Amino acid sequence: MLMLLWDYEMAAEREKLNGLSPTRRLALAVTAIEWTMATMSPPIRDAATRAFLERALVACRRAVSEGQRAVSEQPELIRDYDDVYEGTEEPGTAHLLSAVMECCEAVEGLDAQRVYNVLSYCYEGSMDREDIPDLSLDAERNNRRCVSVIQYQRNLIEEAVATDAGLNS
């Protein structure tokens, strides 16, 4: 199995996710997905994929704004997911669909592993849009987008840890 730069760089961050509150984990995951989508170049062109992602993110944002630990059950999104997933061919979009579904399917709340999966999906989706011809650690290290996604996610985790620590002290 190919190890991505993200796997190496984010391994040390994994444990920090365990220490976050469930509400903070959901907020972190949703923020990562939104940032990834907002900074993708080019923006997602497929209308069905874009509409599905936005529908799912509306439910996710609502849960975060209400301070929930999980997205309320979204049977219609879960039902529609397969059709959208199977119909998307645009690079990186399948990963974003998987990321948003991690949030929507975790009705008991996102555990640390699911958040880690969301972050990985966001990275892989971004990397796929970069169309790196010879995928290697060096190629990823030399790709501005790959490096910026890792740095953004690290910062996001650090902020979440600091915020949770501040609330618990």
**pLDDT tens figures, 64-94:** 999 999 998 888 888 899 999 999 999 999 9
Q: Does the residue 129 lie in any domain?
A: yes
Domain of 36?
5-164
Instruction: Write the secondary structure of 55-124 as one string of H (helix), E (strand) and C (coil).
Output: HHHHHHHHHHHCCCCCCCCCHHHHHHHHHHHHHCCCCCHHHHHHHHHHHHHCCCCCCHHHHHHHHHHHHH
Q: Does the residue 169 lie in any domain?
A: no
Q: Does the residue 35 lie in any domain?
A: yes
Whether the per-residue pLDDT at 156 is higher than 80: the answer is: yes
Q: Does the residue 120 lie in any domain?
A: yes
Kindly write down the DSSP assignment for every residue of 139-156, as one continuous string.
Answer: HHHT-HHHHHHHHHHHHH
Nearest to 168 by CA among 23, 10, 12: 23
Q: Does the residue 102 lie in any domain?
A: yes
How far is CA 98 from each of CA 86, 88, 93, 121, 136, rounded to the nearest angstrom? 12, 12, 9, 7, 23
Q: What is the pLDDT of residue 50?
A: 95
Q: Does the residue 42 lie in any domain?
A: yes
**pLDDT tens figures, 101-147:** 999 999 889 999 999 999 999 999 999 999 888 889 999 999 999 99
Cβ-based neighbour number of residue 32 at 10 Å: 22
Q: Does the residue 111 lie in any domain?
A: yes
Q: How confident is the model at residue 168 (pLDDT cuts 50, 70, 90)?
A: low
Q: How confident is the model at residue 4 (pLDDT cuts 50, 70, 90)?
A: confident
Number of domains in the chain: 1
Q: Does the residue 143 lie in any domain?
A: yes
